[in-house]
Amino acid sequence: MSDDWWFSRRRRRPFSFFEEFEAMFEEMQKEFMEEVKRIMDSLPKELVKETRTPTGVRRQYGPFIYGYSITIGPDGKPVFRQFGNVSPAALPRGVEVRPEREPLVDVFEDEKTVKVVAEIPGVKKEDIDLTVDANRLTVKVDTEERKYYKEVELPAEVLTSGVKAVYNNGVLEVVLPKKEAGKTKGEKIKVE
């Protein structure tokens, strides 16, 4: 295009350049608000709380939690672990939000045991449901205030008997003895 096009356009409408920007901005804002409404409508009902106030209905959303931890594995390579109730794997089309949170979990191993440490604050030890089988520990809490769920893949096969679990100040520690040979069925674990 030539420079004449620009100047002839400016003479006819001196501020049309800003009007076009404003129209583009309004269209982007409209699309953004439609996307926010779509996301809010698709949220699990457990994460939307409505309260009636004198001025109308107040909606509270959340909690939305996402995080990750990075540790160095025994082979010297970094190990990434995600936690929370928001899954960024659903991006870019949307965000998957679950009603239960995925707690931050660390797994430690020595010659005879596997130790799993999970952060699950705000619950009573009676509300913690632990299940173990040969290579997986499942941590579940389902109360009105808090919901947690995590399946932990264990680095070695473990015994389902002789498991010790202690919950103190929001931190759950589970010590599982390693299995030598043979298989056993899954078993419930009592939290002390």
pLDDT at 138: 93
pLDDT at 56: 84
Tokens of 180: 């030598």
pLDDT at 97: 64
Mean pLDDT, 10 residues at a time, over the chain (192 residues)?
53 64 87 81 72 83 75 79 68 62 87 91 91 89 88 88 91 90 64 80
pLDDT at 4: 58
pLDDT at 166: 94
Q: Please give the distance of CA 181 from its chain centroid, rounded to a whole number.
A: 36
**What's this model's pTM, rounded to 2 decimal places?**
0.55
Dihedral (CA of 172, 161, 140, 66) sign: positive
pLDDT at 110: 87
Give the position of tokens 């994460």: 47
pLDDT at 117: 94
Q: Kindly report, residue by residue over 15-62, the tens digit of the pLDDT.
A: 566 777 788 888 999 988 888 777 777 766 766 778 888 888 887 777
pLDDT at 12: 53
Contact yes or no for 105/81 (Cβ under 8 A): yes
Q: How far apart are CA 36 and CA 54, in angstroms?
A: 26
| Domain edges within the chain | 3-61, 103-189
Q: How far apart are CA 63 and CA 8, in angstroms?
A: 55
Edge-to-edge strands, sheet with 187-189: 66-72, 78-87, 96-102, 147-153, 136-142, 128-133, 187-189
Give the H or E element holding residue 124.
none
Q: How far apart are CA 43 and CA 36, in angstroms?
A: 11
pLDDT at 3: 53
Residue 139 burial (C-beta neighbours within 10 Å; 0-12, 13-18, 19+): buried
Region of 62 (left: φ > 0; alpha: ψ -120 to 50; beta: rest) is left
Give the position of tokens 């005879």: 112
- CATH (one of 3.40.228.10, 3.30.565.10, 3.40.50.2300, 2.60.40.790) for 103-189: 2.60.40.790
> Taking the CB of residue 8, how many other CB atoms lie within 10 A of it?
10
pLDDT at 173: 95
